[in-house]
Amino acid sequence: MDQIIRQTLTSILNVAMDDRAWSQATLPIRMGGLGIRKISSISLPAFISSVHGTEKLVRNILSSSLINFNVPCFTEAIDTWRLTCPNSNPPDDPSSQRRWDEPLCRVVQENLIATSTTPAERARLLAVGEWESGLWLHALPSSNLGTLLDDTTFRLAASLRLGAPCCSPHRCHCGEVVNSLGHHGLSCSRSAGRIARHANINDIIRRALVTVGVPAVLEPHGLARDDGKRPDGMSLFPWKMGRPLVWDATCVDTLAPSHLPSSSCCAGSAAAAAENLKRRKYNNLVGSYIFEPFGVETLGSWGPSAHKLYKDLSKRLVDTTRDPKAGFYFGQKISIAIQRGNAASLLGTLPVDSDVEEFFDAIF
């Protein structure tokens, strides 16, 4: 059954997955996977949790003479779980399948990270393991809501997440060689998706502020530095402590050579560094405004300031709309904007006179 699921997933996504990519794909989304679980992986926690969950009912049904029954293979199942997760204790709620499953998934995730062969692979696994990196996979695909990803964008997003080949090797407009993973397009100086992604993220933040009753403008006048550069947006009403909010968004490449030394050690470090640069860049605004840089990475992880602004905005969105998932939807739109920018950047490395299908075709 696992083999059938693997073949079906490969066919639907049109992504060639090796064993490592397949193992990652079968992890929950919150751990960097696609949430397509292996039958062989969930069978053990499903069996153990179902035994505990039905134990009381079964004892009530059976007669007193059978009250001390034993479930066949249950002891072996517990021993197998303990052997697989030697550093984990049985959950407090033994009837919860997720509590039994979580340590098993952690073992797979940690093993993938520990056996990474390159800093880029380790940085990718750390980044996609952040909860915000998988928000686009939770979004309802609706063209009316603007959350529908076309087939090519979805395939490229899945390929980047799994570290699977997404194109045939070719030469970028800038002269650099693009390998089958396509990572060069994410950091290329002539990236095709960078400007559109930046504008989309800022518009999403502005719309969220308008929804909570705080009108905002993009590229506000009067806040320009000596070099003429301006922050991305400013609220027209006070945000906190009687001061307006000023924000500046940026999206940096997780796998850029300059970021790999830090991003291969800690998820979100590239975004955090970009936020610190933004703070120094606009330090003249401190005191009169509340300045919040919004740093994100191409593989989905966010910086500390982005998390802070997201939490503040999410709380206000929930209070205003009375929808407990309003903040979650806001995060999904940011995540989708990142994926669309990534896809545009990858496709933008293709030669002008080429056919896209020549490089992004069916099977590699």
Q: CA dihedral in degrees (317, 319, 324, 330; nearest 10)? A: 0
Whether residue 298 contacts residue 186, with contact meaning beta carbons closer than 8 Å, is answered with yes
pTM: 0.90
138 with 91, same domain?
A: no
Q: What pLDDT is recorded for position 363?
A: 29
| pLDDT exceeds 50 at position 118 | yes
In the chain, the percentage of residues whose pLDDT exceeds 70 is 93
Sequence-distant (6+) residues with CB within 8 A of 111 are none
What is the pLDDT averaged over residues 4-23? 94
What is the pLDDT averaged over residues 15-27? 95
Three state DSSP letters for the chain: CHHHHHHHHHHHHCCCCCHHHHHHHCCCHHHCCCCCCCHHHHHHHHHHHHHHHHHHHHHHHCCHHHCCCCCCCHHHHHHHHHHHCCCCCCCCCCCCHHHHHHHHHHHHHHHHHHCCCCHHHHHHHHHHCCHHHHHHHHCCCCCCCCCCCCHHHHHHHHHHHHCCCCCCCEECCCCCEECCCCCHHHHCCCCCCHHHHHHHHHHHHHHHHHHCCCCEEECCCCCCCCCCCCCCEEEEEEEECCEEEEEEEEEECCCCCCCHHHHCCCCCHHHHHHHHHHHHHCHHHECCEEEEEEEEECCCCECHHHHHHHHHHHHHHHHHHCCCCHHHHHHHHHHHHHHHHHHHHHHCCCCCCCCHHHHCCCCC
Angle formed at CA 167 by CA 165 and CA 169, multiple of 5 degrees: 105
Q: What pLDDT is recorded for position 67?
A: 63
98 with 28, same domain?
A: yes
Of 32-46, 62-76, 188-202, give the lowest mean pLDDT range. 62-76
343 with 251, same domain?
A: yes
What is the pLDDT averaged over residues 223-231? 69
| pLDDT exceeds 80 at position 170 | yes
Q: What pLDDT is recorded for position 183?
A: 92
Q: What pLDDT is recorded for position 227?
A: 60
33 with 111, same domain?
A: yes
Point out which residues pair with 238 in neighbouring strands.
244
In the chain, the percentage of residues whose pLDDT exceeds 90 is 76
Q: Which of 117, 147, 162 is the last residue of a domain?
A: 117
Q: What pLDDT is recorded for position 288?
A: 87
Domain region containing 54: 2-117
pLDDT per position as a tens digit, 335-360: 999 999 999 999 888 876 665 554 44
What is the pLDDT averaged over residues 137-163? 94
Q: Which of 89, 117, 145 is the last residue of a domain?
A: 117
129 with 97, same domain?
A: no
Q: What pLDDT is recorded for position 364?
A: 28
198 with 90, same domain?
A: no
Of 189-203, 215-229, 264-278, 280-294, give the lowest mean pLDDT range. 215-229
Q: Higher-confidence residue: 157 or 364?
A: 157
Domain count, the chain: 2
257 with 292, same domain?
A: yes
Rounded mean pLDDT of the chain?
90
What is the pLDDT averaged over residues 110-118? 95
Q: What pLDDT is recorded for position 284?
A: 84
Whether residue 237 contacts residue 215, with contact meaning beta carbons closer than 8 Å, is answered with yes
Whether residue 48 contacts residue 81, with contact meaning beta carbons closer than 8 Å, is answered with yes
110 with 140, same domain?
A: no
Of 53-57, 262-266, 350-354, give the lowest mean pLDDT range. 350-354
pLDDT per position as a tens digit, 228-256: 578 999 999 999 999 999 999 999 999 99
Q: What pLDDT is recorded for position 308?
A: 96
Q: What pLDDT is recorded for position 362?
A: 33
| pLDDT exceeds 60 at position 198 | yes
Q: What pLDDT is recorded for position 61?
A: 79
pLDDT per position as a tens digit, 323-334: 999 999 999 999
Q: What pLDDT is recorded for position 287?
A: 82
29 with 97, same domain?
A: yes
106 with 203, same domain?
A: no
Q: Which of 69, 101, 117 is the last residue of a domain?
A: 117
Q: Residue 55: pLDDT band by 50, 70, 90 thresholds?
A: confident
99 with 138, same domain?
A: no
91 with 72, same domain?
A: yes
Q: What pLDDT is recorded for position 351?
A: 76
